Amino acid sequence: MPQLRKDPVLNQWVIISPERGKRPSDFKSPPKIEEDITHCPFCEGNEHMTSGEVLAFRKAGTEANTKGWWVRIVPDIAPILTPCTDANREGFGMFDAMNALGVHEMVIEFPGHYDSIATAELEQVKEIIWAYKQRLLEIKKNPSYKHFMIIKNSGLAVSSVSHEHSQIIATPIIPKRVEEEIEGAREYFRYHDRCLFCDIVKQELRTASRLVYENDGFVVFCPFASRFPFEMEITPKQHLPFFENIETDNIASFADALREALIKMNALLPEQPYNFVLHTSPCSDAYKDYYHWHLSLMPKLTKTAGFEWGSGFYINPTPPEDAAELLRKAK
Amino acid sequence: MPQLRKDPVLNQWVIISPERGKRPSDFKSPPKIEEDITHCPFCEGNEHMTSGEVLAFRKAGTEANTKGWWVRIVPDIAPILTPCTDANREGFGMFDAMNALGVHEMVIEFPGHYDSIATAELEQVKEIIWAYKQRLLEIKKNPSYKHFMIIKNSGLAVSSVSHEHSQIIATPIIPKRVEEEIEGAREYFRYHDRCLFCDIVKQELRTASRLVYENDGFVVFCPFASRFPFEMEITPKQHLPFFENIETDNIASFADALREALIKMNALLPEQPYNFVLHTSPCSDAYKDYYHWHLSLMPKLTKTAGFEWGSGFYINPTPPEDAAELLRKAK
């Protein structure tokens, strides 16, 4: 019978429905969309089609906003958040509003249109992670921003551009989802005097049934209360609140874990769209004892409808133990 | 420039992007799907294709699970929650789980396949609401259930059955989303000693710019921090925590408000899928001073991706003031 499982971080219940026991082949591939890639703004040679770069790793001697780069970061052309001097917080009767102050940048992960983390050399994945780190450290100098995160929408079903890219978003407030994680982690820390994320890593390594991959620095697993089929979590084994403080060794381990997770996902669920979200601690030392950076990888296979909207519960037709077993074997 | 607006109930920020200023014609209609409706389990004459009815309004003298009904409620054929005697709460190491105890029923709103609330007579809409009320009062007798709600997924893009129906869901725990609403309403009540929802109704009536429709008992408006384009909220003017205690006069007003909102939505956004969620107070008197039942109507026009998942922020390209103006005029 279906089981209700609680996510200890988000304090959120998920309905795991083993009867439905959906396997990878039960999920329809998205329809193929014909694309004219000659006008892709993210392809090498089309640098004039984006905003000016704020960071690029490029060959010595090449000029900004020309060919010759291997990772390139540009502000979004129609940003949802924009840098401005003042948030201009204001009340409208009983309601609160402010300017949408923030940073919204595109990390173009490859010069070529058809490259992806799953098919790339490890060196290139490391370069992408270096670019995240370097850019976050730069943005963090502005005290207006309370939090930043890195997200990725991959596939035309979830993104308007199929050229692989991720996004850096900085906000003047701590987003609700992150507040919820902090709250869950803080409660656990108060009670146990231990980091919730560290404990999850240990338990997943011990239980092993939801484990997908492990290397020196990172563990990849399907969370106990996975909201989505084949959802994976990538967490550093060491207690590290801030992603942006990641060091050379760990960059290599993280690149390996991320690439391995995506190779496995791709093998089981070819062409399926996915999202990832990298959460790091808000820009303050207040949370460092119990917040632990991590990345959630969410294949986009199921629809969310009224039930999820109304309850905040998720329905997952693939138990994470089954998902992990398939992912472990996938190559 | 885009604006960040805070939803005072959910304590959730929304990015309202007037630059994008999307109008109804900017949203593509979903592709038409050919259907063979002879096998629709919800059509009159196909009663044998569903679970046995738990409630039906039917002609005197007709037998259960045969023709002759005008509203019919049946348990879902593959329920996500099932009645059982014991939730069997259990720990798995540091994780919590329990049986997915609950009620999951389908309210078949019409005997005919192509009928809908927007095109129905007011009398029929009142009957649907009577059925909700009567069934909730019955389910509420079981003390295992802490909360129930009514949701609706309309359109093949969000539902597997196109025959119009809604769902009754009872759960052994208060869903996270409802907990969040309670928390927002409780904080407001502590500070102001007034119901947050009552204050919103008054402010929306006074401001008028987000007002869509009003009758004796109900107000229909686009929320200040609408998460979705053309989102509407239907709220009773009187402070009423429990939907299921609705009385005859208010049933007529609610039926009129709901039908009017759907007629307007249909006129502006024909064929577009939508969800609605009806939230009533959890089964306890503890919240009655500050919880106020209400219905959220959400056209499904935008996609949610990594940003929404990672932040809990929503991006809405249609300011609610613009949406309300168009909806007010729509017929």
Residues A11, A174: Cα–Cα separation, whole Å:
18
Give the Cα separation of B210 and B322 in Å (integer): 8
Report how far residue A167's alpha carbon sits from residue A78's, in angstroms, rounded to the nearest whole number: 13
- B50, HSE (Cβ side, Cα atoms, 13 Å): 26
Question: Nearest Cβ partner of B176 from A11, A206, A224?
Answer: A11
Query: Is residue A193 domain-resident?
Result: yes
* Closest-approach residue (CA) in chain A for B307: A151
Quote the pLDDT of residue A310.
84
B310 in reach of chain A (CB within 8 A): yes
**Phi, psi of B157, rounded to the nearest 5 degrees:** -70, -25
> Which of A5, A77, A80, A278 to probe the B interface (max B CBs under 10 A)?
A80
In the structure encoding, which two tokens stand for residue B328, read together? 């007010």
| Residue-range definition of the domain harbouring residue A166 | 3-21+40-84+97-329
Give which of B246, B10, B308 is closest to A158, Cα–Cα.
Answer: B308
Q: Enumerate the residues of chain B whose CB falls inside 8 A of the CB of residue A203.
A: 93-95
pLDDT value, residue A60: 96
Q: Kindly report the pTM of this predicted structure.
A: 0.92
Question: From residue A297, how far is each of A10, A153, A304, B306 by CA, in Å?
Answer: 16, 10, 17, 10
Whether residue A309 and residue B151 make contact (CB cut-off 8 A), yes or no, is yes
Average pLDDT rounded to a whole number, residues B218-241: 97
Flag if B175 and A312 touch (Cβ within 8 Å). Answer: yes
Contacts of A19 in chain B (CB under 8 A): 78
- Kindly indicate the confidence band of residue B1, based on its pLDDT and cuts at 50, 70 and 90: confident
pLDDT of amino acid B55: 98
* A205's tokens: 């390594």
Q: Is residue A316 part of a domain?
A: yes
Q: For position A159, what pLDDT does the model report? A: 84
Task: Report CA Rg, chain B.
Answer: 20
Q: Are B313 and A175 within 8 A, CB to CB?
A: yes
B168 has which bridge partners? Answer: B105, B150
What pairing do the DSSP bridges indicate for beta strands B12-16 and B314-316? parallel
As given in the structure block, the two tokens for residue A59 are 């060959």
What local confidence, expressed as pLDDT, does residue A83 receive? 85
Mean pLDDT (chain B) is 93
DSSP string, A160-220: S--S-EEEEEEESS--HHHHHHHHHHHHHHHHHSS-HHHHHHHHHHHH-TTEEEE-SSEEE
A55: part of which helix (H) or strand (E)?
strand A55-58
Q: How far is B167 from chain A (nearest CA, A)?
A: 9
- Say what the pLDDT of residue B22 is: 81
8 A C-beta contact, residue A175 and residue A290: no
The answer to whether B159 contacts chain A (CB < 8 Å) is yes
Q: Which residue of B has its CA nearest to A175?
A: B311
Task: Collect all residues of chain B within an 8 Å Cβ-Cβ radius of residue A8.
Answer: 94-96
| Amino acid A274: pLDDT | 94
Of the candidates A297, A315, A323, the one whose C-alpha atom is nearest the C-alpha of residue A209 is A323
- Picking from A93, A99, A313, the nearest residue to B207 by CB comes out as A93
Q: Is the pLDDT of residue B88 over 90?
A: no
Where residue B192 falls among pLDDT bands split at 50, 70, 90?
A: very high
Put simply, the answer to whether B225 touches A95 (Cβ < 8 Å) is: yes
> Greater confidence, B30 or B3?
B3
Q: CB A94 to CB B199 under 8 A? A: yes
Q: In angstroms, rounded to a whole number, what is the distance separating the alpha carbons of residues A236 and A231?
A: 17
Between chains, do B151 and A298 touch, taking CB under 8 Å as contact? no
Distance from CA of B300 to the nearest CA of A (A): 9
**Cα A197 from Cα A242, distance rounded (Å):** 13
3 state SS of A87: coil
Count of domains for chain B: 1
Q: In this prediction, does ipTM exceed 0.90?
A: no
Which residues are B169's β-sheet partners? B104, B149
Does residue A264 belong to any structural domain of this protein? yes
CA distances from B230 to A118, B209, B223, B294, B300 (A): 39, 14, 9, 17, 9
Q: What is the CATH number of the domain that holds A108?
A: 3.30.428.10
pLDDT of residue A158: 81
Pick out chain A residues at pLDDT < 50.
Answer: none
Nearest CA in chain B to A171: B311
* Cβ-nearest to A305 among B98, B153, B306: B153
The pLDDT assigned to A110 comes to 98
Does residue B224 register a pLDDT over 90? yes
Q: H or E segment at B98?
A: strand B95-99
- Is residue A100 within 8 A of residue B4, CB to CB? The reply is yes
- Mapping DSSP to helix (H, G, I), strand (E, B) and coil, where does residue A148 land? strand
B159 interaction partners in chain A (CB closer than 8 Å): 305
* Residue A91: both structure tokens together: 């009340």
Evaluate whether residue A258 is within a structural domain: yes
**Of A82, A94, A178, Cβ closest to residue B1:** A82
Report the alpha-carbon distance of residue B27 to residue A157 in Å, rounded: 16
B68: which 2 tokens?
């002759």
So what's the pLDDT on residue B310?
A: 84
Residue B25: which pLDDT band, with cuts at 50, 70 and 90? confident
DSSP state of B30: P
B207 in contact with chain A, both atoms CB, cutoff 8 A: yes
Minimal Cβ distance to A4: which of B5, B100, B178: B100
Label the pairing between strands B294-299 and A294-299.
unpaired
Q: What percent of chain B has pLDDT over 70?
A: 99
Three-state DSSP class for residue B37: helix
Q: Please give the average per-residue pLDDT across B112-131, as a whole number.
A: 97
In angstroms, the Cα distances linking A331 to A298, A317, B276 are: 18, 23, 42
Residue in the structure block whose two tokens are 């009423």: B240
Q: Is residue A318 part of a domain?
A: yes
Residue A26 inside a domain? The answer is no
| Phi and psi, residue B73, nearest 5° | -115, 130
- Measured in angstroms, the CA of A241 and the nearest CA of chain B are apart by 17
| A121: in domain | yes
Could you count the other beta carbons within 10 Å of the beta carbon of residue B38? 9
**What pLDDT does B85 receive?**
72
Residues A230-244, buried b or exposed e (16+ Cβ, 10 A)?
A: bbbbbbbbebbbbbb
Strand ranges (E), B100-200: 103-108, 147-154, 165-171
A23-32 CB contacts, 8 Å cutoff, 24+ apart? A23/A318, A23/A322, A23/A326, A24/A230, A24/A268, A24/A269, A24/A326, A27/A229, A27/A269, A27/A272, A27/A301, A29/A270, A29/A271, A29/A272, A30/A155, A30/A156, A30/A157, A30/A271, A30/A272, A30/A273
Give pLDDT, residue A49: 96
**Which residues in chain A are contacts of B93 at CB distance < 8 A?**
203, 206-207
| pLDDT attached to residue B83 | 85
* B169–A94 C-beta distance less than 8 A: no
Identify residue B99 by its one-letter amino acid code: N
Is B330 in the A-facing interface, judged by CB distances under 8 Å? no
* A278, containing H or E segment: strand A274-279
Is A305's CB within 8 Å of B93's CB? no
Q: Is A278 a domain residue?
A: yes
Task: Please tell me the distance from the alpha carbon of residue B155 to that of residue B157, in angstroms, as a whole number.
Answer: 5
Q: Which chain B residues touch A13 with a CB distance below 8 Å? A: 173, 175-176
Confirm or reject contact between A3 and chain B (CB < 8 A).
yes
What's the Cα-to-Cα distance from B165 to each of A143, A186, A304, B150, B161, rounded to whole Å? 51, 42, 17, 11, 8
What are phi and psi for residue A222, nearest 5 degrees? -90, 120
